[in-house]
Amino acid sequence: MNLQFPKDFIWGVATAAYQIEGAYNQDGRGESIWDRFSKTHGKILNGDTGDVACDHYNRYQEDVAMIKNLGVDSYRFSIAWPRIFPNGFGKLNPKGLDFYKRLVNELLENDLIPCATLYHWDLPQVLQDKGGWTNRDTAKCFQDYAAIMFQEFGDVVPYWITLNEPWCSAQMGYGNGQHAPGIKDPKQAIQAAHYLLYAHGLAVEAFRSVTGNGQIGITLNMSPKYPASDSPEDVAAAQRGFAADVGWYLDPVLKGAYPEEIFQIYKKHNLAPEMEAKDLDVISTAIDFLGINYYHRRILGAGNPDSIFNYKSYPSVYEKTRMGWEIYPEGIYDLLVYLNKTYGDLPLFITENGACFDDQLVEGEVHDHQRTKYLQDHFVQCHRAIEAGVPLKGFYVWSLMDNFEWAYGYDYRFGIVYVDYETQTRYLKDSAKWYREFLTTQK
């Protein structure tokens, strides 16, 4: 592949704490909602839990060496809030903090740029016992935790992400119950979304009050919606779908308002979130960049009495990954161009993109040509977007290595590195080797 990205483009790999760290009860770590949820019968495929995961907590040096060996510029990881504050607030756990100090030092010594996500879904269980994200106080606790992290790491971590995919935390955690804490109540989901956004805004405020020259943003999952036909009804349905899933998060953060049409629909169904007068001002505190997790698109059309948004999903057209997600690289281009047009010249990062396939380890090798092709095709579309003037600044592959894929457990592999969980041996898949090769052409 012969593509030249800008010289200062940041290439990386991404992970999240609960998915890789393991060491669930080591060094004073508190319980998170994912510990509780994964140990609840029937919630996770094969009854898997994150107790051990990739044992990254104990193998971080080996893993950083592996990241270095890939030739990337940056590593996106998340900090486990329950390691820092086992009870969510109050007494800090110095040993938990120390782990991230060692990790960040290791990255810096290897000339890797740390990009830290403060919340990738592992809420301290103690806070869930008080209502979790449906309790306004949780946002305050998040701000306090974030402020401590900025004090400790503000001068060494240049990129910060407040929340990873608040849509998932709210809608899958409190709406359909497929994720921790497993609640199924649309009203709670929309309230949780509001307090998540409020927590994001409070954290950005805290960041601005700490000196340092880092940058802060939020990562949203965005699947662009395409209309099933050109009919005005289908076009409107696709727009409504995008506003409900993505605009509901983007607009408050970037415009200081919820999308009006969706707000009215929620209001009509008595689902609108409770909020205070200044909340949207806090939520829209200026950010430095927007993080995008892109995996697939959706096709929507009008008409569905079961959905309050009156839209229905259409089957995908092209090949799918093992997750059942349609492979549609053009979607990342369309999305980037749309965001740039709609929200202006805010720097953008792809903070996750990657694919799950049924990988086979044979004699130490994994020939995952489908994943390599997936990545190549998405790189091509990102390059196209940059050529079209979109300020895309970096790209993080999801994921560095196979890990605990939430409700799908360990059976679903997204890594460019294969993990043999029995021995904790890591093997570079062909996609990792290709990525490393590609990166040598970008220096």
* 55 versus 352: smaller Cβ distance to ligand FCB: 352
Please, which of residues 137-166 interact with ligand FCB by CB under 6 A?
164-165
Least separation in angstroms between residue 236's CB and ligand FCB is: 27
CB atoms within 10 A of CB 393: 17
* C-alpha to C-alpha distance for 171 and 18, rounded to whole angstroms: 19
- The enclosing H or E element of 286 equals none
Of 31, 165, 326, 405, the active-site residue reads 165
* 167 versus 289: smaller Cβ distance to ligand FCB: 167
Rule CB under 6 A: say whether 359 interacts with ligand FCB: no
Residue 200 · residue 143 · CB < 8 Å: no
Least separation in angstroms between residue 166's CB and ligand FCB is: 11
* 204 versus 356: smaller Cβ distance to ligand FCB: 356
* 35 versus 279: smaller Cβ distance to ligand FCB: 35
Interacting residue with ligand FCB among 168, 235, 265, 335 (CB under 6 A)? 168
Rule CB under 6 A: say whether 375 interacts with ligand FCB: no
Rule CB under 6 A: say whether 406 interacts with ligand FCB: yes
* C-alpha to C-alpha distance for 410 and 47, rounded to whole angstroms: 10
Least separation in angstroms between residue 167's CB and ligand FCB is: 9
Known active-site residue 152: no
Interacting residue with ligand FCB among 93, 125, 138, 221 (CB under 6 A)? 221
Cis before 181? omega within 30: yes
**How many residues make contact with ligand FCB (CB under 6 A)?**
12
* 168 versus 290: smaller Cβ distance to ligand FCB: 168
Ordered alpha helix ranges (H), 351-427: 369-387
Cis before 399? omega within 30: yes
* 72 contacts: CB under 8 Å, gap ≥ 6: 11, 12, 13, 112, 435, 439
* C-alpha to C-alpha distance for 203 and 199, rounded to whole angstroms: 6
Residue 394 · residue 349 · CB < 8 Å: yes
Rule CB under 6 A: say whether 398 interacts with ligand FCB: yes
Residue 54 · residue 419 · CB < 8 Å: yes
Known active-site residue 352: yes
Least separation in angstroms between residue 356's CB and ligand FCB is: 7
The structure tokens listed for 303 are 């008409």
Please, which of residues 267-296 interact with ligand FCB by CB under 6 A?
293
The window from 52-60, 175-183, 256-264, 398-406 that contacts ligand FCB (CB under 6 A) reads 398-406
* 15 versus 284: smaller Cβ distance to ligand FCB: 15
At CA 34, angle to CA 31 and CA 38, rounded to 5? Answer: 110
Site string for ligand FCB, 42-81 (x = CB under 6 A): ----------------------------------------
Rule CB under 6 A: say whether 245 interacts with ligand FCB: no
* 268 contacts: CB under 8 Å, gap ≥ 6: none
Least separation in angstroms between residue 295's CB and ligand FCB is: 7
* 50 versus 301: smaller Cβ distance to ligand FCB: 50
Q: Is 44 helix (H, G, I), strand (E, B) or coil?
A: coil
Least separation in angstroms between residue 180's CB and ligand FCB is: 13
* 16 versus 366: smaller Cβ distance to ligand FCB: 16
Which of 291-318 are b and which e, b meaning 16 or more Cβ less than 10 Å from the residue's Cβ?
Answer: bbbbbbbbbbbbeeeeeebbbbebebee
Q: What is the largest CA-CA distance in the chain?
A: 61
Query: Would you tell me the crossing angle of helices 330-343 and 248-255 to the nearest 10 degrees?
Result: 30
Where on the phi/psi map is residue 90: left (φ > 0), alpha (ψ -120 to 50), or beta? left
Of 106, 326, 352, 405, the active-site residue reads 352
Residue 261 · residue 188 · CB < 8 Å: no
Interacting residue with ligand FCB among 5, 12, 13, 16 (CB under 6 A)? 16
- Interface residues with ligand FCB (CB under 6 A) are 16, 19, 164-165, 168, 221, 293, 352, 398, 405-406, 414
Active site residues: 165, 352
